[in-house]
Chains A and B, each alone.
Chain A
Amino acid sequence: MAGRRDIRRYPGFAAMTVLCLTILYVPLFVVMAYSFNASTSLTNWGGLSLRWYADLFTGVEAPRFRAAAWNSVSIATLAAAASTIIATAAAVAMVRGGRFRGKGATFALINLPLMVPEIVTAVATLIFFSVIGLATGYLTILIAHITFCIPFAYLPIAARLEGIEESCEQAARDLYATRAQAFRLILLPLLMPGIISGFLLAFIISLDDFIITNFVKGAGMETLPTAIFGSVKQGIKPNILALSTVMLTVSILFVTLSYFVNRLGQRSRA
């Protein structure tokens, strides 16, 4: 092969990849760095300090952020748990249920939250709650979050389930395990990596949501994104940088966790 050029290499493509990663990460690193700035001014560097992190707990906006954080985390936990259970049942039916009437329509329904633009979902959900007379607040946010989290929980669970052969369950059934026993003792443990990734993705998606929450939250109710948005509208302050750093660290930890759980799952399958 000597003298032949490498057909896989294109000049500039590596540089483009570096550029791509730079654009993706630089804003995040800059915010992280400036969150440790002691100065009240956003522009000047006043030395290293944790004062803006302390400010999150003791500052003027602390009670608002604390309430918003509690709402965000509790809604994300409940929405992720509910959507994961719903998606697991759906995945078992879709992957193990053979052919049945309405399968195509059900598949389209599961993917509907991904097809409809977020702002349209937000408008439609607000109108719906207003027509049925349900006051907007915690419950309406939770319902909306469970709904749009279903496809995100479904995808990794169904993908995992497709890779699990039926033979183990069939063997269990042949040995007179009931359907429930075969599910609990055989399928569920095998499916667990998919379920965990599904839960984590749904959790992040719920925590991330701004537009839909902003429409259905009602007055006085805040989640972290809506609280941050409200603050940023009046100009970016250093405490927002600290809060952003906390949130992006949590997100990155979650995704890293999900990544390794998935890899572990793949290794155990191989």
Chain B
Amino acid sequence: MAGPAASGSAGTGYRSITGPLLLPTWVMIGIFLLLPVLLMTVYSFLTREFRGGVDWTFSLAAYDRFLLNRGLFGDEPPVLEWTYITIFWRSIWQAGLATLICLIVGFPTAWFIATRPAHSRALWLFMITVPYWVNLLIRTVSLRFLLRDQGPLNDALIGAGLLDSPLQIINTNLAVQLGLFYSYLPFMVLPVYAAVERYNFALSEAAADLYASRWTTLREIVLPVVRPGIIAGCILVFVPSLGAFLAPDLLGGAKTYMIGSLIEEQFKGSQGNWPFGAAVSVILMTLVLIVLMIYARAQGRAGAH
């Protein structure tokens, strides 16, 4: 070895071995995630076999089934199939509403934490994130336990004389939104907090000096400045909500059927349809990629200013 650390910039000697260091990452994620996603895309264009498997012949049947209704025997003129579009639309709506609830609760929380004395902020943030690390299934089960018709919440409300008969919350849209909100709230609070923490409060000071009210200041000054944090939070809540499985499955009923359950059903038992499940997954993934690309462009534009 000729003179270790000859030049200051290459001083730690890892430059020559970046390949071997990254090889395990490339192999694991490349072979066991990237390749499977590509394979799934191919799979969505294959023909379904009766025993739940596939026949390796090219077919558009899966996408055809998603979009078009050709009648019971497949010989009627195709009309637009609403079943699956409705499920997607409902999922987008539910995820969007959950995102909005997260924002309405999460923004004030993030603001409140960011305006605490520096030494206590870490503890507040910790308290917000702890539930996130509790098993998602257990959190969803807990919520289901609490909201049941004969559950503690209804008991308490009836006991307090506020209700005569149990309020049905479980199996409604509200329960699903509450579940999604409960699952992903920290994803909203953390990026918004990061943005508010960097916010220059002299701007609010200046606005106050010019006789702007508190809420005018919030609307005209604060929100535009912390917008990147809010958008990041919305993306981080919206994207996992869209493909959520546990909240709709355990808290919702037949009327709250979402994309996650639709996909899961295609891979269970002999009733399943793997190419169709793969096609729905491809459509979901495309939707998520579009959202992420819009986000990346918005961030890029914000960065250019």
Which of B69-77, B81-89, B236-244 forms contacts with chain A? B236-244
Contact A173 B13 (CB under 8 A): yes
Chain A contacts of B207 at CB under 8 A? 7
Contact A208 B135 (CB under 8 A): yes
Known A-B contacts A4-B208, A247-B135; A119 and B245 likewise in contact (beta carbons under 8 Å): yes
Contact A124 B131 (CB under 8 A): no
Contact B21 A92 (CB under 8 A): yes
**With an 8 A cutoff between CB atoms, is A20 at the interface?**
yes
The 0/1 profile, CB within 8 Å of A marked 1, for residues 131-148 of chain B is 101111111011111101
Chain B contacts of A42 at CB under 8 A? 145, 148, 150
Interface hub of A5, A27, A110 (most chain B Cβ within 10 A): A27
Give 12 A-B contacts (CB < 8 Å), ordered by A residue: A13-B108, A42-B150, A90-B24, A92-B14, A93-B21, A117-B240, A119-B284, A124-B37, A204-B133, A210-B136, A211-B260, A232-B141
**With an 8 A cutoff between CB atoms, is A162 at the interface?**
no
**With an 8 A cutoff between CB atoms, is B305 at the interface?**
no
Query: By DSSP majority rule, is chain B's interface helix, strand, loop, or mixed?
Result: helix
Contact A98 B150 (CB under 8 A): no
Q: Can you name the residue of chain A whose Cβ is closest to the Cβ of B150?
A: A43
Contact A174 B25 (CB under 8 A): no
Q: How close is B96's CB to chain A, nearest CB, in angstroms?
A: 16
**With an 8 A cutoff between CB atoms, is A261 at the interface?**
no
Chain A contacts of B144 at CB under 8 A? 232, 236
The 0/1 profile, CB within 8 Å of B marked 1, for residues 6-48 of chain A is 0111101110110111011111101100100000001100000
Report the separation of the CA atoms of residues A12 and B109 in the bound assembly, to the nearest whole angstrom: 10
Which residue from B5, B106, B285 sits with its C-beta under 8 Å from A170? B5
Contact B208 A248 (CB under 8 A): no
Chain B contacts of A5 at CB under 8 A? 208, 214
Contact A97 B25 (CB under 8 A): no
Q: Can you name the residue of chain A whose Cβ is closest to the Cβ of B288?
A: A117
Contact B141 A119 (CB under 8 A): no
**With an 8 A cutoff between CB atoms, is A109 at the interface?**
yes
Contact A100 B201 (CB under 8 A): no
Contact A27 B137 (CB under 8 A): no
Known A-B contacts A97-B15, A248-B135; A147 and B39 likewise in contact (beta carbons under 8 Å): no
Contact A7 B24 (CB under 8 A): no
Contact B146 A30 (CB under 8 A): yes
Contact B201 A7 (CB under 8 A): yes
**With an 8 A cutoff between CB atoms, is A126 at the interface?**
yes
Contact B105 A19 (CB under 8 A): yes
Contact B33 A263 (CB under 8 A): no
Report the separation of the CA atoms of residues A30 and B138 in the bound assembly, to the nearest whole angstrom: 12
For the complex of A and B, the 6 pairs showing the least CB-CB separation, nearest first, are: A117-B243, A128-B36, A16-B108, A124-B36, A93-B21, A27-B142
Which residue from A27, A86, A121 sits with its C-beta under 8 Å from B139? A27
Known A-B contacts A98-B15, A116-B285, A228-B141; A10 and B34 likewise in contact (beta carbons under 8 Å): no
Residues of A at the B interface (CB closer than 8 Å) are 4-5, 7-10, 12-14, 16-17, 19-21, 23-28, 30-31, 34, 42-43, 85-87, 89-90, 92-94, 96-98, 100, 106, 109-110, 112-113, 115-121, 123-128, 130-131, 143-144, 146-148, 150, 166, 169-170, 173-174, 176-179, 182, 187, 204, 207-208, 210-211, 214-215, 225, 228-229, 232, 236, 240-241, 244, 247-248, 251-252, 254-256, 259, 263
Q: Can you name the residue of chain B whose Cβ is closest to the Cβ of A24?
A: B131
Known A-B contacts A98-B10, A248-B138; A117 and B18 likewise in contact (beta carbons under 8 Å): no
Determine the interface band of chain B, counting residues with CB < 8 A from chain A: 35 or more
Q: Can you name the residue of chain A whose Cβ is closest to the Cβ of B122?
A: A263
Q: Can you name the residue of chain B whose Cβ is closest to the Cβ of A41?
A: B150
Report the separation of the CA atoms of residues A247 and B135 in the bound assembly, to the nearest whole angstrom: 8
Chain B contacts of A179 at CB under 8 A? 4, 12-14
The 0/1 profile, CB within 8 Å of A marked 1, for residues 201-218 of chain B is 100110110000010011
Contact A146 B28 (CB under 8 A): yes
Contact A173 B12 (CB under 8 A): yes
Report the separation of the CA atoms of residues A259 and B129 in the bound assembly, to the nearest whole angstrom: 11
Q: Can you name the residue of chain A whose Cβ is closest to the Cβ of B280?
A: A123
Q: Can you name the residue of chain B whose Cβ is closest to the Cβ of A241?
A: B145
Contact B24 A147 (CB under 8 A): no
Chain A contacts of B124 at CB under 8 A? 17
Contact A113 B33 (CB under 8 A): yes
Contact B130 A252 (CB under 8 A): yes
Contact B15 A25 (CB under 8 A): no
Contact A236 B145 (CB under 8 A): yes
Q: How close is B225's CB to chain A, nearest CB, in angstroms?
A: 13
Contact A30 B145 (CB under 8 A): yes
Report the separation of the CA atoms of residues A26 and B205 in the bound assembly, to the nearest whole angstrom: 38
Contact B182 A117 (CB under 8 A): no
Q: How close is B50's CB to chain A, nearest CB, in angstroms?
A: 16
Which residue from B25, B30, B127, B278 sits with its C-beta under 8 Å from A89? B25
Known A-B contacts A166-B12, A210-B246; A30 and B285 likewise in contact (beta carbons under 8 Å): no
Chain A contacts of B127 at CB under 8 A? 21
Chain B contacts of A85 at CB under 8 A? 24
